[in-house]
Amino acid sequence: MYKMIRKNTGLLLLTLLLATGAQAQRVTSMRINEVLVINEDNFVDDYGKRNGWVELYNTSAGTVNVGGCFLTDDRNNPKKYPIPKGDVLTRISPRQHVLFWVDGIASHGTFHVNFTFDPDKENYVAFYDSDGKTLVDELVIPAGQKADISYGRKKDGENEWVYFTKVTPSTNNLTLDTNEKIDNFKLNDSRGIGMTITAMSVVFLGLFVLYYIFKQVARLAIAAGKARAQKAGVAGMHEGSSDISGEVLAAISTALYELNEDVHDIERTVLTIQKVKRNYSPWSSKIYSLRENPRK
């Protein structure tokens, strides 16, 4: 009994450790993805204010809850802004983003931190795990940032940092505004002649392929029919009769006719007339006419 309890306790502790480790591993998959220091004519927060912001990105394939973790702009104070727990919006889905407004007014809600950026110098921002000691990601934002131009990873979660004139908070940093194939057609075939020729070629090629397929199917069907006819002996008879002349066919027909004359009764010249007796004749019948002989 004691061994069983000890075994079950060990399994329970192992499960808890694995779950805790998996959770910690998921939290460490978060990355500082994009920042905007000077916001003059850009996106506004839920209070209608324009402030700088920090975007975090979940690089993992699992949902990450950043509630209880920390954001800071001070290397000596990792726990400067504790992200509140219990907010459902702190659960970040796989490959998704979350935005924190750097306005210095934490009372405005979960996603408003208690520090601000200084546009005249370098700015530091870091993201810590819930223990306040494990550094998940940090960034030094270069001085001299321009208004409404963000600084972020060229592609979400990767290491190369670039400036974005098209700011993309809470969405992918790499967005495609053009279609490479369409642009190529516009460049090399502005009048659409090549497109027309290509389309017509495809249509006619399709028709030719269909014609060839149907022709081959018909040929195979005819060949199969001939094979069946030859197997039944019908084809050989038709091929042999095609060599007989018209005179021979006429002689054969005459012989067959004479043969029928000898076998059957000849009744062509026999005429049988029977008198039809009627009990009633209409008023216009000739029996009532004046040509009838008078009775004596």
pTM passes above 0.85: no
Q: Last residue of a domain, which of 197, 220, 238?
A: 238
Q: Last residue of a domain, which of 220, 238, 256?
A: 238
- The verdict on 138 and 207 lying in the same domain is no
223 vs 211: CA distance, rounded Å: 18
At 110, list the tokens. 């979960």
- The verdict on 108 and 212 lying in the same domain is no
Instruction: Tell which residue, 91, 114, 81, 121, has the closest CA to residue 30.
Output: 91
Phi, psi of 177 (to 5 degrees): -95, -10
- The verdict on 100 and 194 lying in the same domain is no
Q: Per-residue pLDDT for the chain (296 aa), expressed as one digit of tens each?
A: 545 555 566 666 555 544 444 444 579 999 999 999 999 998 999 999 999 999 999 999 999 999 999 999 999 999 999 999 999 999 999 999 999 999 999 999 999 999 999 999 999 999 999 999 999 999 999 999 999 999 999 999 899 999 998 887 877 877 655 566 676 767 777 777 888 888 899 999 999 999 999 999 999 999 888 888 888 765 455 555 556 777 888 888 888 777 665 555 555 555 666 665 656 556 566 555 555 566 65
Confirm whether 265 is domain-assigned: no
HSE-CB at 60 with a 13 A cutoff on CA atoms is 16
- The verdict on 37 and 125 lying in the same domain is yes
- The verdict on 20 and 115 lying in the same domain is yes
CA torsion 156-161-162-167 (nearest 10°) is 40
Residues spanned by the domain of 211: 178-238
Q: Last residue of a domain, which of 130, 164, 198?
A: 164
- The verdict on 107 and 188 lying in the same domain is no
- The verdict on 49 and 147 lying in the same domain is yes
Strand 135-141 and strand 123-128: the pairing is antiparallel
Confirm whether 60 is domain-assigned: yes
Q: Provide the domain count of the chain.
A: 2
Which H, E and C letters describe 159-213, residue by residue? CCEEEECCCCCCCCCCCCCCCHHHHHHHHHCCCCHHHHHHHHHHHHHHHHHHHHH
- The verdict on 146 and 182 lying in the same domain is no
Residue 46: CATH number of its domain: 2.60.40.1260
- The verdict on 184 and 157 lying in the same domain is no
DSSP summary character for residue 106: G
246 vs 240: CA distance, rounded Å: 14
202 vs 207: CA distance, rounded Å: 9
153 vs 270: CA distance, rounded Å: 117
- The verdict on 117 and 204 lying in the same domain is no
155 vs 164: CA distance, rounded Å: 11
